[in-house]
Amino acid sequence: MKEKELYFTVNSVNRYHGIKPFKIGSILKLVKEPENDYDMEAIRVELRYAGKSGYVANSVNTVSKGTCSAGRLYDKILDIDYAKVIFIVDEVIIAKILNKEELEKEKKDDDSDINFI
């Protein structure tokens, strides 16, 4: 049986570097923040070379239709996990959680410093 693909919306990018550093195909590092003062299910989004760059959306006002909120993803991902940017439309970034095989392929295909992954 094929794993269900999990998509999410990245938000709060304007609090950090804005949308510019995000590119289709960018690998995102996801880090759970259970001690976050505002959201116990917060998942931080980091970009290689840019660091903290946003959060997984967790509000009906910020989650794009067809994507999961941070609350729905929280128990489905590791404490540190990875995703790939699939779509960028205007100011909306949609990414897909990478499964083990996809992550290994990204590591193999990446000819730069893979310490981020």
State the total domains in the chain: 1
Q: Residue 2 falls within a domain, yes or no?
A: no
- Residue-level pLDDT at 114: 47
Q: Which CB contacts under 8 angstroms, 24+ apart, belong to 36-43?
A: 39/70, 41/70, 41/71, 41/74, 42/70, 43/70, 43/73, 43/74, 43/77
Interatomic CA distance for residues 75 and 70, integer angstroms = 9
> Domain range holding 97?
7-104
Strand partners, 84: 27, 96
Q: Residue 99 falls within a domain, yes or no?
A: yes
Closest by Cα among 88, 35, 38 to 64: 88
Q: Residue 111 falls within a domain, yes or no?
A: no
For residue 61, what is the domain's CATH number? 3.30.70.2330
- Residue-level pLDDT at 1: 39
Q: What is the mean pLDDT of each run of 10 residues along the chain (117 residues)?
A: 82 94 95 95 94 95 95 96 95 94 83 51
- Residue 100 sits at φ, ψ, to 5 deg, of -55, -45
- Residue-level pLDDT at 107: 81
